[in-house]
Amino acid sequence: MKIKNICCIGAGYVGGPTMAVIAEKCKDIIINVVDVNEERIKKWNSDHLDELPIYEPGLDEIIKNCRDKNLYFSNLIEEKIAQADMVFISVNTPTKKKGLGAGKASNLKWVEECARQVAKFSNGHTIIVEKSTLPVRTAEVIKSILDEAKNSGKRNDFTSKTFDVLSNPEFLSEGSAINDLVNPDRVLIGGDNPEAIESLAAIYKYWVPEEKILRTNIWSSELAKLTANAFLAQRISSINSISALCEATGADVREVSRAIGSDSRIGTKFLDSGPGFGGSCFKKDILNLVYLADFFGLPEVATFWESVVKLNTWHQNRISQLITKNLFGTLSNKKIIILGFAFKANTNDTRESAAIQICKDLLEEGAYLVIHDPKVSPRQIETDLKKAIFQTNQIEDKSNNIRESNWSFANNLSSIFKDADAVVVLTEWDIYKSINWNDVSNLMRHPAWIFDTRSIIQGIDVKESGLNFWQIGDGLI
């Protein structure tokens, strides 16, 4: 089946960039990206490309080339499903907050809703592609909803509908999404109908070499996605655990990373110690694995993977505590500059960002924070901090002792350092690499500290400016 019309449900960090690249590479396919969120769709259609809802290098250029030619954004969910030969499901699947599997299992409410919409509004044969990160066996849920639609169609003598379900997990990394999509290491397609698999493979073959397109059964594909993210996160927790040991023993985690990374069996990637991994996928996917392992009676497997998340949380707390300790054990009446709030550079995404936990801890210690990020909006920061503080208050049953006036947002770096006691680098944005620490030192209140959790600051410049310096995993400072 040659695909001519695609509908992607969900115009978020996965759906938006993925469909933009397919549109750019496959000019003869019509692509409709639909979303329930009207504000988000309005932003995708904005004439001002800097207003797109997602910041991703290179995305604006593709949107300029393809939008309203073969790529359309709208809220017309029913109509666009009806026109499509292939429907991608790219909706959010956050961790469940209550009920069965709370805190671990993914909430599939939105995926289920999509399956029902496809069942209702599709015509003829439709291939459904799971793009969102999903727990293993989600395809089964989708299939049973679709089967029901098929059967009720027959009973009521409606036009007969047929479906195939494929798993095609996304491996793109935010900040380099366009490059990851254009030059993928591999494309994974899981399914049980070879014809449906080849229909999707034919789309990728427009630009991806055949040997990079892997076909598997549907469960292997779903599990491979969770496993890939769990392995990557595990490397980060491993190196972060070693950073603490480096600080205690006089070793340097950068040297350790370089030494182990040059072993070709280990490799150099994902060995940068930082403030702890963030992003929408790592924690969620590991917790899904934990839930699955428990569900299938494998508690040792569950405990093994859960420790990766526990280490990450411990590591973030460790950073907040050492900041407090170095500032004489109290942050009351102290001004701390936070450089970076996104979970990594080159994205405006803050989901699970280490900055949320660390800022919350510092606020609880009584600090006054000035937060800078070149791409994250003050509104987003406010939402994240309020949520984090609210959650702690609920768990610990204490009243909210943090006032909104305890932090502010800075648009630019000029003059924010005045009278500050400390600067904490939490995101590795390029602009922080060229800060003149001499000028900063003249403005700060001494003794003053610079805490670099991302290894992007030249310690020698900082120290020569009369500032105290701490860098992640450096045991010689």
7 closest CA partner among 31, 26, 38: 31
Q: Is 91 or 244 the residue whose CB approaches ligand ADP more closely?
A: 91
Contact at 8 Å (CB) between 443 and 417?
A: yes
Out of ligand ADP, ligand UDX, none, what residue 101 binds, judged by CB under 5 to 8 A for its kind, is none
Under rule CB under 6 A, residue 106 binds ligand ADP: no
Residues of span 267-286 touching ligand UDX by CB under 6 A: 270-272, 274, 277-279, 281-282
> 């939490």: which residue's tokens?
426
8 a catalytic residue: no
Q: Is 114 or 342 the residue whose CB approaches ligand ADP more closely?
A: 114
Residues in CB range of 342: below 8 A, 6 or more apart: 348, 349, 350, 353, 355, 373, 375, 376, 427, 429
Under rule CB under 6 A, residue 40 binds ligand ADP: yes
170 a catalytic residue: yes
- From CA 393, how far away is CA 387, in angstroms rounded? 10
Site string for ligand UDX, 218-257 (x = CB under 6 A): -----------x--x---x---------------------
Under rule CB under 6 A, residue 135 binds ligand ADP: no
Out of ligand UDX, ligand ADP, none, what residue 36 binds, judged by CB under 5 to 8 A for its kind, is ligand ADP
225 a catalytic residue: yes
Residues in CB range of 231: below 8 A, 6 or more apart: none
Amino acid at 313: T
Under rule CB under 6 A, residue 172 binds ligand ADP: no
Under rule CB under 6 A, residue 173 binds ligand UDX: yes
User: How many residues belong to the site for ligand ADP (CB under 6 A)?
Assistant: 21
Instruction: With contacts defined by CB under 6 A, name the span among 12-20, 44-52, 63-71, 402-410 that binds ligand ADP.
Output: 12-20
Q: Please give the C-alpha separations between residue 250 and each of 383, 424, 475, in angstroms, as whole numbers.
A: 39, 22, 4
- From CA 434, how far away is CA 451, in angstroms rounded? 16
State the first-to-last Cα distance of the chain, in angstroms, to the nearest integer.
63
Q: Is 91 or 246 the residue whose CB approaches ligand ADP more closely?
A: 91
Q: Which of 22, 23, 31, 77 binds ligand ADP (CB under 6 A)?
A: 77
Token reading at 144: 């049973």
DSSP tally for the chain: helices H, then strands E: 16, 14
- From CA 302, how far away is CA 300, in angstroms rounded? 5
For ligand ADP, the binding residues (CB under 6 A) are: 9-15, 34-37, 40, 77, 90-92, 110, 113-114, 132, 280
